């Protein structure tokens, strides 16, 4: 089975058609059709520039522009026959244009190659995704600020090594995620700067001898500038790798949060209640309510990491400049975009449907010697060297473990046995509230600091205005 060579826009030097198996193996239209809007916008700008430089007549430009608009509406309406024998989005659209308007359509590809054309489409697509990601990240960040406001003043155990460490405010924990996703937002905005550079005019890889105006095309399409080296332009996919690496970081943060939500919704923790509509049941165990959403988000991080690995591996051995291998860059990026944006959206929605079991969380701060560091700090403030203080508190904790009690259960006389410096004001120091509110260092968990952080975030996010 062969298809006729006449369909192919590059058929000139070929004797016969292409094997059906080869067409099936090499096509990318099944997934790069997603880029049609960008391909059409790019072609319109390119044609405008060609006309401006005497390479197209006014009439030809009008025919091309109108022809492309018609094609776009057909694709919008799902009424466009994408053909795998035409390989990719570029040739599907160009062939349809030539069929519709004749010779003018055949002039469109002057001073252009699919190599700079795909770089253009991909950059325009990713530029839009960056803007969408910023919106989704802000929705997510707003959800953390709302939770931080709602639970202001409530305490929970903070952990290191998954062992109870020191009491913190629930709001402080929420604001930690606000910071993480804030960095992700900055990374995306920074990545966009390197995406938003126009590759068009690099042509196949050496540039073109035809009189073109790259800056004009860049301006028409909203790019900040044009790329500096035509070979780099046709061979570069750093921008896609960088974007996918930003995706990976976001998904990684979502996955860590998901892990906490899975743990916290277990009976062992019983820290949170995820609304019924965000959980599912078991087909065999009637009592089950499973945290599927966070589990799936955690699971999907494997795909996103996989996409990043695919891209890195794809590019690592490629000589300059364009190689067909690079067609394999699209699917991992598309999958990362779909996975991460869906995960961000559903996480933000679920956070709005989360109830913390504040009593249980507070109760968990009462055991486990969570204010032992405060006793050590108390001694330090009374001029005991920290290492010595550490030893004193360690012995006090060991005694409590033996007695089966907490530090706060000791009498003043008992506690004084460990150090005569200790006085009755120690009980305030050892209280959970006293401990939390003593941590007034910048970025600390005291109500004062966390209130400041939440207020600043509310202002930044335009909440309560
Ligand atoms: N479909 C191709 C890709 O995604 C477009 C560029 C093809 N260029 C070429 N010379 N075959 O990379």
282 has catalytic annotation: yes
Of 9, 85, 118, best ligand 1 pocket probe by most atoms within 8 Å of the beta carbon: 118
Atom of ligand 1 nearest to the CA of 326: 12
Decide whether any atom of ligand 1 lies within 6 Å of the 112 Cβ. Answer: no
Half-sphere exposure of 137 (CA within 13 A, CB side): 25
Q: Which CATH number fits domain 11-110: 3.30.40.10, 1.10.3720.10, 2.60.40.1180, 1.10.275.10?
A: 1.10.275.10
| DSSP secondary structure, 236-294, as one string | --HHHHHHHHHHHHHHHHHHHHHHHHHHHTSTTT--EEE-GGG-B--SS-TT--B-HHH
pLDDT digits (tens, 9 = 90+) for 275-312: 988 888 777 777 778 999 999 999 999 999 999 999 99
**Token pair for 376:** 């050590």
Domain 372-461 has CATH 1.10.40.30: yes
Residue nearest to atom 7 of ligand 1 (CA): 114
**Distance from C-alpha of 361 to C-alpha of 356, rounded to nearest angstrom:** 8
Phi, psi of 261 (to 5 degrees): -65, -35
Q: For the stretch 102-132, what's the b/e string if a residue is b when 16 or more beta carbons lie within 10 angstroms of its beta carbon? A: eebbebbbbbbbbbbbbbbbbbbbbbebbee
Q: Which of 4, 57, 266, 282 is catalytic?
A: 282
CA angle, residues 278, 284, 287, in degrees to nearest 5 = 55
**Token pair for 2:** 């062969």
**Distance from C-alpha of 69 to C-alpha of 72, rounded to nearest angstrom:** 5
Decide whether any atom of ligand 1 lies within 6 Å of the 27 Cβ. Answer: no
Q: Which CATH number fits domain 115-359: 2.60.120.10, 3.40.50.11390, 1.20.200.10, 3.40.50.11540?
A: 1.20.200.10
Judge contact between 330 and 90, C-beta under 8 A. no
Contact partners, residue 58, CB within 8 Å, separation at least 6:
51
- 300 CA → ligand 1 middle, Å: 29
Decide whether any atom of ligand 1 lies within 6 Å of the 143 Cβ. Answer: no
- Helix runs in 17-88, H state only: 20-26, 29-32, 36-52, 58-76
Atom of ligand 1 nearest to the CA of 28: 1
What pLDDT tens digit does each residue of the chain (465 aa) get? Answer: 566 665 788 888 887 888 999 999 999 999 999 999 999 999 999 999 999 999 999 999 999 999 999 999 999 999 999 999 999 999 999 999 999 999 999 999 999 999 999 999 999 999 999 999 999 999 999 999 999 999 999 999 999 999 999 999 999 999 999 999 999 999 999 999 999 999 999 999 999 999 999 999 999 999 999 999 999 999 999 999 999 999 999 999 999 999 999 999 999 999 999 998 888 877 777 777 899 999 999 999 999 999 999 999 999 999 999 999 999 999 999 999 999 999 999 999 999 999 999 999 999 999 989 999 999 999 999 999 999 999 999 999 999 999 999 999 999 999 999 999 999 999 999 999 999 999 999 999 999 999 999 999 999 999 987
pLDDT digits (tens, 9 = 90+) for 2-34: 666 657 888 888 878 889 999 999 999 999 999
- 210 CA → ligand 1 middle, Å: 22
Atom of ligand 1 nearest to the CA of 88: 1
**Distance from C-alpha of 225 to C-alpha of 117, rounded to nearest angstrom:** 16
pLDDT score of 3:
61
Judge contact between 157 and 164, C-beta under 8 A. yes
End-to-end CA distance of the chain: 67
Of 42, 84, 85, 88, best ligand 1 pocket probe by most atoms within 8 Å of the beta carbon: 88
**Distance from C-alpha of 434 to C-alpha of 425, rounded to nearest angstrom:** 11
161 has catalytic annotation: yes
pLDDT score of 5:
61
- 342 CA → ligand 1 middle, Å: 29
Q: What are the residue boundaries of the structural domains of the chain, listed by start?
A: 11-110, 115-359, 372-461
């Amino acid at each position: 089975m062969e298809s006729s060579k006449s369909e192919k826009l590059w058929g000139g030097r070929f004797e016969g058609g292409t094997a059906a198996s080869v067409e099936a193996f090499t096509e990318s239209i099944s997934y790069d059709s997603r880029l049609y809007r960008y391909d059409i916008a790019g072609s319109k700008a390119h044609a405008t520039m060609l006309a401006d430089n005497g390479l197209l007549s006014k009439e030809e430009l009008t025919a091309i522009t109108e022809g492309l608009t018609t094609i776009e509406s057909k694709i919008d309406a799902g009424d466009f026959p994408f053909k795998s024998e035409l390989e990719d989005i570029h040739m599907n659209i160009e062939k349809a244009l030539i069929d519709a308007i004749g010779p003018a359509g055949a002039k469109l590809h002057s001073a252009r190659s699919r190599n700079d054309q795909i770089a253009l489409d991909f950059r325009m697509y990713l530029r839009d995704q960056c803007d969408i990601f910023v919106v989704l990240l802000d929705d997510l960040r707003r959800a953390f600020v709302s939770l931080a406001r709602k639970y202001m003043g409530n305490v929970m155990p903070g952990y290191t090594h998954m062992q109870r460490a020191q009491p913190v405010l629930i709001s402080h924990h929420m604001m930690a995620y606000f910071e993480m996703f804030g960095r992700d937002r900055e990374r995306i905005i920074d990545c966009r700067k390197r995406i938003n550079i126009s590759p068009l005019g690099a042509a196949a890889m050496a540039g073109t001898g035809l009189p073109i105006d790259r800056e004009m095309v860049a301006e028409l399409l909203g790019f900040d500038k044009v790329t500096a080296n035509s070979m780099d332009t046709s061979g570069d996919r750093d921008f896609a790798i960088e974007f996918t690496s930003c995706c990976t970081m976001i998904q990684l943060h979502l996955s860590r949060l998901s892990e906490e939500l899975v743990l916290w919704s277990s009976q062992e923790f019983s820290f949170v209640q995820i609304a019924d509509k965000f959980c599912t049941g078991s087909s065999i165990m009637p009592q089950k309510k499973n945290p599927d959403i966070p589990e799936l988000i955690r699971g999907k991080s494997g795909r996103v990491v996989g996409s990043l690995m695919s891209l890195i591996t794809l590019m690592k051995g490629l000589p300059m400049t364009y190689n067909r291998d690079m067609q394999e860059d699209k699917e991992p990026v598309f999958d990362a975009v779909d996975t991460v944006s869906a995960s961000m959206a559903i996480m933000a929605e679920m956070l709005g449907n989360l109830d913390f079991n504040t009593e249980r969380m507070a109760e968990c701060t009462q055991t486990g010697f969570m204010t032992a560091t405060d006793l050590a700090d108390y001694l330090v403030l009374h001029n005991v060297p920290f290492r010595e203080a550490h030893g004193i508190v360690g012995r006090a904790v060991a005694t409590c473990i033996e007695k089966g009690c907490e530090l706060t259960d000791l009498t003043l006389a008992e506690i004084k046995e460990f150090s005569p410096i200790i006085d009755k004001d120690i009980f305030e120091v050892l209280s959970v509230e006293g401990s939390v509110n003593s941590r007034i260092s910048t970025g600390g968990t005291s109500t004062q600091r966390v209130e400041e952080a939440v207020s600043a975030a509310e202002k930044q996010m335009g909440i309560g205005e």
